[in-house]
């Protein structure tokens, strides 16, 4: 049997080609996009302003690739975590995070992850596969719909769920196009943050696209020896090379980089590391986001005690660096940074 075309993430131009192949005028594409992105249609039968013959043809040749919600958990702090099943039976997790200005959706880009960062549960089950642009977009549409049914609004996206987004670059580009296309999600890329472990050539490729999205770079160490231990990718792309690529990203896009630093007890949380970090970052167009480590029993690491964290923050601030400490959200349902592992319980 012929595989059906998943119409989620098709661009208006691709829709027009599909429709012309079925013998229908291009303007029908606009009608279908309204049904999909504004009216939340889940079937072609609902698209009642389309001719019956077209609805019949679409049902034969195409599908609307929504994901099956296997489980939904809600944290005490309002964080919502979804376990979605993909068409091939693989699973992904998506998280809705409550902020004062509205919700942010934390989206997965791969099943599992290859990067092996030692503080993160996402790679523990191994790498499954890349998600398609349509599967990434489906997570956004479904979480948006769930929130809207509760009277809540989706305001921003963070590509910080399971997977390394830049290791799935081919899906990222059409996904981001769908996000900013006014006929589809119509969300400004200024409200999108893409997190990376530091795939230097792909950071440069992304920079060349000059998109206004925020790049969040997982640093988690203040020197190469330490980063080699925490993030294996550092053995391939050392920190000097990574920071130079980030500088280029800032220059080409006009956007400040957000550096992420998870504080792990006894590993990277000393005053020496704080001073090294300040030296590395204080002359750069950037922002430093410190993340209290979220426990994952299998990883054998502990969060830095509060006084250690406070001393680390004070040392950085005294150097003039702009530092924030990330709020811990969803830890009671294993939805916080580094805890996603499809156990129904990644984060870059
Ligand atoms: S932190 Fe990001 S890149 Fe590293 S293992 Fe987790 S999901 Fe993968």
Position 77 scores a pLDDT of 86
Closest atom of ligand 1 to CA, residue 348? 2
- What does the pLDDT read at residue 272? 97
Atom from ligand 1 closest to the CA of residue 196: 3
> What is residue 290's predicted lDDT score, i.e. its pLDDT?
95
Residue whose token pair is 């006084």: 307
Please tell me the distance between residue 231's alpha carbon and the centre of ligand 1 in angstroms: 9
Fold of 5-63: DNA polymerase; domain 1 (1.10.150)
Residues 8 and 134 sit within 8 Å (Cβ to Cβ): yes
Closest C-alpha residue for ligand 1 atom 6:
346
Q: Where are the domains of the chain?
A: 5-63, 68-333
Among 10, 129, 16, 140, residue whose Cα is nearest residue 67: 140
- Catalytic member of 117, 120, 286, 337: 337
| Atom 4 of ligand 1, residue of closest alpha carbon | 117
How far does the centroid of ligand 1 lie from the alpha carbon of residue 281, in Å?
Answer: 22
167 lines ligand 1 (CB under 6 A): no
93 belongs to the catalytic site = yes
Q: Which of 80, 93, 135, 164 is catalytic?
A: 93
Q: For residue 255, which of 287, 281, 280 has the smallest C-alpha distance?
A: 287
Is 263 in contact with 302 (CB distance < 8 Å)?
no
Report the C-alpha gap between 156 and 270 in whole angstroms: 33
Q: Answer whether 188's CB lies under 8 Å from 153's CB.
A: no
Q: From the CB of residue 283, how many other CB atoms can be counted at a distance below 10 Å?
A: 10
Vertex 188 angle, CA 138 and 6, to 5°: 25
Q: What is the pLDDT of residue 63?
A: 94
One CATH from 3.40.50.11820, 3.20.20.70, 3.30.2320.80, 3.40.50.300 for 68-333:
3.20.20.70
- Ligand 1 mutation target, pool 95, 111, 122, most atoms within 8 A of CB: 122
pLDDT number for residue 60: 93
Compute the distance from residue 326 Cα to the ligand 1 centre, in Å: 17
Cβ of residue 291 lying under 6 Å from some atom of ligand 1: no
3-state secondary structure of 146: helix
Q: Is 337 a catalytic residue?
A: yes
Q: What is the pLDDT of residue 285?
A: 84
pLDDT score for 121: 85
pLDDT tens sequence for the chain (348 residues): 668 899 998 999 999 999 999 999 999 999 999 999 999 999 999 999 999 999 999 999 999 999 999 999 998 888 999 999 999 999 999 999 988 888 999 999 999 999 999 999 887 888 999 999 999 999 999 999 999 998 999 999 999 999 999 999 999 999 999 999 999 999 999 999 999 999 999 999 999 999 999 999 999 999 999 999 999 999 999 999 999 999 999 999 999 999 999 999 999 999 999 999 999 998 898 999 999 988 777 888 999 999 999 999 999 999 988 899 987 676 676 666 666 666 543 444
pLDDT of 347 = 44
Query: What does each C-alpha distance from 241 to 165, 204, 211 come to in angstroms?
Result: 19, 11, 21
Q: How far is CA 104 from CA 28, 155, 192, 285, 316, in A?
A: 32, 6, 9, 24, 28
Q: How many CB atoms lie within 10 A of CB 231?
A: 23
Q: What is the Cα–Cα distance from 65 to 46, expressed in whole angstroms?
A: 15
DSSP code per residue over 178-224:
HHH-TTTT---GGGEEEEES--HHHHHHHHHHT--PEEEEE---SSH
Q: 120 CB under 6 A from ligand 1?
A: yes
Phi, psi of 218 (to 5 degrees): -75, 110
Angle CA 178–71–142, to nearest 5: 20
pLDDT the model gives residue 3: 82
| Residue 197 Cβ contacting ligand 1 at under 6 Å | yes
């Amino acid at each position: 049997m012929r595989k059906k075309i998943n119409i989620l993430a098709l661009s208006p131009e691709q829709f027009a080609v599909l429709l012309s192949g079925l013998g229908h005028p291009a303007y029908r594409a606009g009608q279908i996009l309204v049904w999909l992105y504004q009216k939340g249609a889940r079937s072609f039968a609902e698209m009642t302003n389309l001719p019956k013959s077209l609805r019949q043809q679409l049902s034969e040749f195409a599908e609307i690739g929504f994901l099956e919600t296997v489980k939904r958990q809600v944290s005490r702090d309002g964080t919502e975590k979804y376990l979605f099943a993909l068409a091939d039976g693989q699973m992904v997790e998506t998280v809705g995070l409550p902020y004062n200005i509205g919700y942010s959706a934390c989206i997965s880009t791969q099943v599992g992850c290859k990067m092996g960062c030692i503080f993160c549960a996402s790679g523990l089950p191994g790498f499954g596969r890349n998600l398609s642009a349509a599967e990434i977009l489906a997570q956004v549409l479904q979480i948006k719909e769930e929130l809207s049914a509760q009277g809540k609004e989706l305001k921003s996206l963070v590509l910080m769920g399971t997977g390394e987004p830049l290791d799935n670059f081919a899906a990222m580009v059409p996904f981001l196009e769908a996000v900013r296309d006014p006929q589809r999600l119509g969300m400004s890329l200024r409200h999108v943050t893409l997190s990376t472990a530091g795939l230097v050539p792909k950071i440069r490729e992304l920079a060349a696209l000059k998109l206004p999205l925020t790049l969040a770079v997982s640093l988690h160490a203040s020197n190469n020896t330490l980063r080699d231990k925490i993030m294996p990718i550092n053995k391939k792309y050392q920190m000097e090379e990574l920071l130079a690529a980030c500088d280029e990203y800032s220059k080409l896009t006009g956007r400040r980089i957000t550096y992420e630093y998870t504080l792990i007890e006894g590993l990277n949380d000393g005053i020496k590391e704080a001073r090294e970090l300040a030296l590395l970052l204080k002359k750069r167009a950037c922002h430093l986001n410190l993340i209290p480590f979220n426990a994952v029993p299998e990883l054998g690491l502990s969060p830095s005690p509060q006084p250690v964290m406070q001393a680390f923050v004070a040392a950085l601030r005294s150097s003039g660096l702009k530092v924030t400490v990330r709020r811990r959200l969803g830890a009671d349902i294993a939805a916080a940074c580094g805890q996603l592992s499809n156990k129904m319980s990644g984060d870059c």
